Structure 1
């Protein structure tokens, strides 16, 4: 069994950025990554026509860490012969489809650093020639070993109650949206649960894709909210805020979360909000409304059979109830963070075999160092890092966005080099 210095699980944007940083800044470090998909595609279930990344394109896989890197989005456009044409687009942010192609290009450029179609099923501590290593076993029984481990698998989709008990093909999380549409007949009525940007994008996509379909968006708040795009709020995506958030108490983190939440969660950019509002207005003008937004609506019951999903809803302010029957439910309900709350998970599921050796703080959160290392019970345990999974300790900049992705990769590389230097001494 070959042992590398750095073994990564997942080869999406987080670990792609790490692979580049290792190649550019630590060329003597051996690294290999395991990717579950045979042909990975970034956000493949949400590559909707016209949707953008809501993120400045320079906040890509590399530029904040190394503006001269050939793996930048700008260089990708240059190599594809589209740079001038792209710069002429009357858009604030790049199309999601184009960014997905950029991610695919980088993935192919670094394909020699990864094994694809290798879903990890178990992670364990073992010894190799007297040296402690992490051993990752894939679903087909292959084993890979590393002197350090970086888990960058992305966050677990949140399927909340009561939908978590259904297991119906007519209930789909947004990450599988386009894939599921391809498997189902044209829907008659669709419920979209959640008031996020993705939720509104899905409503608009359904309205364009199936003009005769009735689409109802259910949100727990009074109605849809505009995203906070103030440049002052956006400083929450600065590395200085990450350091500040990390040092805050748990109570302080909750306060900061409440302030920063509208910059990324349960809120929507003005362009798609306006498009949706205008669409509903015009449908009402025509006397043929087919798209609805139902605020103050909490789903408290759901059951499904082969053809329909029946929903029970309640207004949390008045107690009024209603029922709905649809043939497709799309959950725009986000993802689980790490933590002890019901909507969280204590640690990534892949680390269940190591859980007894991990340290937690007094509030029940996994102890993570400033450089994204997991704190082990045994200080002699080899380094273990979480890449893109640390919002509960590092704040909104770790929320699965590209904002600080390249800087985080650089910080993990620095930590790996320091550990290697200590090991040599």
Structure 2
């Protein structure tokens, strides 16, 4: 007997991070959307390795899963506070910025209420097949998604896909393949390895941004010369310890208008801007920078030299493990190069923390030709977050190279999800704001004059943009 085909969902999401979780929460009350979301993990977890006590989000609580699309949603952060009896405590605290651990708990609370989430499903393939519910006309197709579970293989069908597989920890080539007695830990795995790092007696943090600063500050309390304490160093390529730029006109860059502007730029120029704008969202919170300084000052006031070094504008160009290091315990030997001086030196440490960020990848389960890619093998994402010719495959969180600073921004996730649900439903269940910024990110059309080109002028779009 032939098995019945699986039901056809309107929407299927692969990966359940905050962005797809927010999409699931916004889709749940819509009568004209049937949805299902798959994830290979056994439950929701958000940066578990970096939920350091006392650390906060760098965005206000309004940047939750749903509020910027639907302030009345029962899945808002404020609704979670009320449900858990913490609303008045949060009110009295008088801070817009939730604790990171709070945000994780809030997301778990939302996930527990959504019947559309399927955990323990590892997607192995996505292909196009004929729509079993259609009349067989040309172009009637759906996406068939195959997933492995602990109990066997499952198949799902959907008219629209949302790829929310997120990013993977990135370890630079210089730090790959190191074999030694001490740990080499990416920040994504920091908390489970913290005890081993401290026990090593000497830790070096390599990288920049908020994660590097949070790890450095967390380890700084135990940094000292007394028995059981450790040495701590921080090496960053950044010319200085950049605070995140958080002025209001700069924040307007997380807007639909700036996204329109950014998407319209040549790909080469976007890549340049992406590198230049990292401190807009990958910088360190100003309060944390000050707290690190104040902690160093407090420790130095005790009279003893604090066993720590902060090296900026310094790159790790090579690394090896020396088994015959100090006390026979072995050490990592880093070759450091100072960018301004052009000089090099060796730095020895028994443990390494790589605060080297994350990289987006195109998952291997997608059938060849299913999505459009650019010349560098990245998603070729359109303005409305689609990556296929029929505008039925959306990407969330993997479009930083095409959409700029709004891609990783938690506060913009609800806006993007509103666009996706408008495409799925053919209506606008959550109205999207088109203009929110006071400034303009290009010349008004009526004032733009055509540029005359001659043989001596660059006709390359990139050079002209520069």
Counterpart-to-counterpart distance in 2, 1:303 and 1:127 = 54
Is 2:162 the counterpart of 1:162? Answer: no
Gaps of 5+ in 1: 338-346, 420-425
What value does the CA root-mean-square deviation take over the aligned residues? 2.6
What do residues 367-393 of structure 1 show as CA deviations (whole Å, max 9, x unaligned)? Answer: 2222211124xx5xx821111111111
8 A contact 2:204–2:353 mirrored in 1: yes
Normalized against structure 1, the TM-score is what? 0.86
Return the match for 2:106 from 95, 102, 107: 102
Counterpart-to-counterpart distance in 1, 2:377 and 2:272 = 18
Counterpart-to-counterpart distance in 2, 1:205 and 1:308 = 22
What corresponds to 2:213 in structure 1?
A: 200
8 A contact 2:13–2:20 mirrored in 1: yes
What corresponds to 1:283 in structure 2?
A: 299
Return the match for 2:279 from 262, 265, 282: 262
| More helix as a share of residues | 1
What corresponds to 1:348 in structure 2?
A: 362
**Which shifted more, 30-39 or 198-207?**
30-39
Deviation at 1:182, TM superposition (A): 5.3
Cα pair distance change 1:39/1:364, threshold 3 Å: closer
Cα pair distance change 1:189/1:182, threshold 3 Å: closer
**Which shifted more, 404-413 or 273-282?**
273-282
1:228-247 matches, within 5 Å, as 228-247=245-264
**Which shifted more, 82-91 or 297-306?**
297-306
What corresponds to 2:413 in structure 1?
A: 405
Deviation at 1:402, TM superposition (A): 0.9
Counterpart-to-counterpart distance in 2, 1:355 and 1:269 = 42
Counterpart-to-counterpart distance in 2, 1:86 and 1:194 = 33
Cα pair distance change 1:120/1:208, threshold 3 Å: farther
Normalized against structure 2, the TM-score is what? 0.79
Return the match for 2:120 from 114, 117, 127: 117
Aligned length: 401
Is 2:25 the counterpart of 1:20? Answer: yes
Counterpart-to-counterpart distance in 2, 1:90 and 1:418 = 41
1:200 is paired with a residue whose SS is helix
1:55 is paired with a residue whose SS is coil
8 A contact 1:123–1:135 mirrored in 2: yes
What corresponds to 1:422 in structure 2?
A: none
Return the match for 1:180 from 193, 197, 204: 193
Cα pair distance change 1:164/1:370, threshold 3 Å: same
Deviation at 1:197, TM superposition (A): 1.2
1:237 is paired with a residue whose SS is coil
Cα pair distance change 1:229/1:210, threshold 3 Å: same
2:358 is paired with a residue whose SS is coil
* Larger CA Rg, structure 1 vs 2: 2
Return the match for 1:418 from 426, 446, 453: 426
Is 2:137 the counterpart of 1:133? Answer: no
8 A contact 1:236–1:260 mirrored in 2: no
1:293 is paired with a residue whose SS is strand
Cα pair distance change 1:270/1:260, threshold 3 Å: same
8 A contact 1:226–1:270 mirrored in 2: yes
